Amino acid sequence: MTANDEHTGWTGGQDAFGDFAPGMAHYTDKVLFDEVWERPDLSKRDRSLVTIAALTALGKTDQLQFHLAYARQNGLTDDELKEALLHLAFYAGWPNGMGATAVLKNIVENDQ
């Protein structure tokens, strides 16, 4: 079975957009999460780290809300995420690092 044959049952796109934007729901669920995230050459942990780096560099804190929490599910610890965001602040800009760290702080505090 190849990555393209596997289906995770991901419904985040459908849950977010449903009938309003069926194309966005389809490509999010069936292509991005059922195919791209399931490819075998990077672990989900590594994919999460790469995704967080890209979103932090772009200042996309709305998407970081989901992806930082997902990274924790994919095996990254809070300390690893804090360290990654500190490192990124020097390469992606201090405001982007601060914004991403604020999102992580909110996630961690709401889990307690």
pLDDT in tens, 81-94: 999 999 999 999 99
The angle formed by the CA atoms of residues 66, 102 and 37, to the nearest 5 degrees, is 25
Cβ–Cβ under 8 Å, residues 33 and 8: yes
Rounded to two decimals, the pTM is: 0.87
Q: Which domains does the chain have, with CATH numbers?
A: 8-41 (no CATH), 42-112 (1.20.1290.10)
Return the higher-pLDDT residue of 109 and 16. Answer: 109
| DSSP letter string, 47-102 | HHHHHHHHHHHHT-HHHHHHHHHHHHHTT--HHHHHHHHHHHHHHH-HHHHHHHHH
Q: Could you read off the pLDDT of 44-59 as tens digits, one per residue?
A: 999 999 999 999 999 9
